[in-house]
């Protein structure tokens, strides 16, 4: 039977690991942890690989711990950052910790199983230790030379801004986290992205010095797209797991738009599909990339994991009719998510009451045409669409009962120039 290490390896999720980690994961049930930085009340898709690492750990019978850094969040991790972080208030951090835990509950079993997941907040121990005790009992085990060798520190030292003592101390705090979960829960493995290797090995060293025991680390590569851009960063900003920040429909579209060069890797990283299923989708992509079968499966699987089956069905329905003639049947919020960056005009809803507003006048008013005469010619030539339906009658009128969700119209000039009309 394959071990967790074998599973992570074929999925491309092992960038480095300590000696003996493979054997440990094959021989016994392990308690392992990953840290989550509570910089926001929601995780984003860039955090999803880490979440899936914990979820796979539990599925292989191991016990996962998620440390939400209510304590270290007050300091800020310099790893991968070129500038000092803006420090958050205690209330903001507490709100963010609660939001992150809620999202983790979709992926981890917090029930009564022997390998039930835990969420712990490192403020429980960092918030109670006094400075002198910390410096005496922990700080003395870290030389400045050792800390300067850490990549997260050395890169910042080479930058114009440098690094504050506050963030310089982060590596010691995270090492102390590893010591605490080792003592409290028997945790012997820390996992994370490759930018965390220096922090992880610092914790391993501290456990060796203070407890004379061996602990382990396992890291996966930091993700970039085949185009060389940072994964999860789009033209419209961060893709969040919180549906209030990124609608489930836009979330679905993000995965549906995956590059052919990335889709197989993403199926391995972000779904629980087995090797046989992913191999079949890879073959389908090579044979008929235009069908985008792998992308549809990816979007279905990941959206289902994050938002549930109801939102998957809604997103798939919206995608199937978005560019057809049934756009008026869609939810207005889904339409707004798709056309978020499209130019829009707000008009009073009563303009469309009764007999409504003439189509030619509407086209001219929102400046899809420079004049009513040009608007009339556009309509007569079949160049104007209302909610994706061609409108060729210059005498036609647009009424409120035609509005999507009673809130908006989608006008289109030709095949590409869209304009939203929002009813106020």
Better-predicted residue by pLDDT, 402 or 231: 402
Rounded mean pLDDT of 229-241? 76
CA dist 186 and 6 (Å) reads 23
Cα–Cα–Cα angle for 279, 64, 311, rounded to 5 degrees: 55
pTM: 0.80
pLDDT at 222 over 80: yes
pLDDT at 327 over 60: yes
Average pLDDT, the chain: 87
Rounded mean pLDDT of 268-286? 97
Residue 78's pLDDT band (cuts 50, 70, 90)? low
Q: Which of 107-116, 173-182, 211-220, 279-288 shows the lowest per-residue confidence on average (mean pLDDT)?
A: 107-116
49 close to 270: Cβ distance less than 8 angstroms: yes
269 close to 12: Cβ distance less than 8 angstroms: yes
Backbone φ and ψ for 67, nearest 5 degrees, come out as: -90, 115
pLDDT at 82 over 70: no
Task: Report how far apart, in Å, the C-alpha atoms of 182 and of each of 25, 27, 174, 198 are.
Answer: 16, 19, 12, 18
CA dist 285 and 342 (Å) reads 31
Per-residue pLDDT at 233: 64
SS (H, E, C) 43-105: CEHHHHHHHHHHHHHHHCCCEEEEEECCCHHHCCCCCCCCCCCCCCCHHHHHHHHHHHHHHHC
Helix 260-270 / helix 293-307 crossing angle, nearest 10 deg: 40
At residue 389, the 3 state secondary structure works out as: strand
pLDDT at 170 over 90: no
Task: Report how far apart, in Å, the C-alpha atoms of 378 and of each of 50, 332, 352, 395, 416 are.
Answer: 52, 26, 21, 13, 14
pLDDT at 81 over 70: no
Which CATH class name applies to 233-321? mainly alpha
Per-residue pLDDT at 417: 80
Rounded mean pLDDT of 139-162? 82
Q: For the chain, what are the domain ranges?
A: 4-220, 233-321, 344-423
Rounded mean pLDDT of 389-417? 86
258 close to 266: Cβ distance less than 8 angstroms: yes
Per-residue pLDDT at 40: 83
Per-residue pLDDT at 297: 97
pLDDT at 322 over 80: no
Residue 92's pLDDT band (cuts 50, 70, 90)? confident
218 close to 14: Cβ distance less than 8 angstroms: yes
Rg (CA), the chain: 27
Which residue matches tokens 């009309």?
A: 421
Q: What are the respective helix, strand and coil percentages of the chain, to the nearest 5?
A: 50, 15, 35
Q: Which DSSP symbol is given to 134?
A: H
Q: Which of 147-156, 199-208, 249-258 shows the lowest per-residue confidence on average (mean pLDDT)?
A: 147-156
Task: Report how far apart, in Å, the C-alpha atoms of 53 and of each of 58, 90, 104, 136, 270 are.
Answer: 9, 28, 12, 35, 9
Better-predicted residue by pLDDT, 234 or 240: 240
Rounded mean pLDDT of 177-193? 97
Maximal CA-CA distance, the chain: 86
Domain 344-423 part of CATH 3.30.110.30: no
Which residue matches tokens 């220096």?
A: 198
Per-residue pLDDT at 241: 93
Per-residue pLDDT at 16: 97
CA dist 135 and 334 (Å) reads 54
Please give the CATH number for the structural domain made up of 4-220: 3.40.50.620
């Amino acid at each position: 039977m394959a071990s967790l290490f074998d599973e992570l390896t074929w999925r491309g999720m092992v960038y480095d690991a300590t000696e003996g980690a493979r054997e440990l994961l094959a021989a016994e049930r392990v308690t392992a942890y990953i840290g989550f930085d509570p910089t926001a009340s929601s995780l984003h898709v860039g955090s999803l690989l880490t979440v899936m690492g914990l979820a796979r750990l539990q599925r292989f019978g191991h016990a996962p711990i998620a440390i939400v850094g209510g304590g270290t969040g007050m300091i800020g991790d310099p790893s991968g950052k070129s500038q000092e972080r803006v420090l958050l208030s205690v209330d903001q951090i507490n709100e963010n910790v609660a939001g992150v835990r809620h999202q983790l509950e979709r992926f981890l079993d917090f029930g009564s199983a022997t390998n039930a997941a835990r969420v712990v907040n490192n403020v429980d121990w960092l918030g109670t230790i006094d400075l002198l005790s910390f410096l005496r009992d922990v700080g003395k085990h870290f030389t400045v030379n050792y800390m300067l060798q850490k990549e997260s520190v050395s890169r910042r030292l080479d930058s114009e801004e440098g690094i504050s003592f506050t963030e310089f101390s982060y590596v010691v705090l995270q090492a102390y986290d590893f010591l605490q979960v080792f003592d409290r829960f028997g945790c012997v493995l820390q996992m994370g992205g490759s930018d965390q290797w220096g922090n992880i090995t610092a914790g391993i060293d501290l456990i060796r010095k203070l407890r004379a025991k061996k602990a382990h680390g396992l890291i996966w590569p930091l993700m970039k797209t085949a185009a060389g851009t940072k994964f999860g960063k789009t033209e419209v900003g961060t893709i969040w797991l919180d549906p209030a920040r990124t609608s489930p429909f836009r979330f679905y579209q993000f995965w549906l738009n995956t590059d052919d060069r990335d889709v197989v890797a993403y199926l391995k990283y972000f779904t629980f599909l087995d090797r046989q299923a992913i191999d079949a989708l890879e073959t389908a992509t090579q044979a008929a990339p235009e069908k985008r079968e792998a992308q549809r499966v990816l979007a279905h699987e990941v959206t289902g994991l994050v938002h549930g089956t109801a939102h998957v069905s809604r997103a798939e329905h919206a995608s199937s009719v978005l560019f057809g003639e049934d756009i008026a049947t869609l939810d207005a919020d889904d339409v707004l998510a798709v056309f978020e960056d499209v130019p829009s005009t707000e008009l009073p809803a009563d303009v469309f009451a009764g007999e409504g507003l003439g189509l030619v006048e509407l086209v001219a008013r929102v400046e899809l045409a420079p004049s009513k005469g040009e608007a009339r010619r556009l309509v007569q030539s079949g160049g104007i669409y209302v909610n994706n339906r061609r409108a060729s009658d210059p005498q036609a009128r647009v009424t409120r009962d035609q509005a999507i969700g009673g809130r908006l119209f989608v006008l289109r000039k030709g095949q590409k120039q869209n304009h939203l009309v929002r009813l106020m």
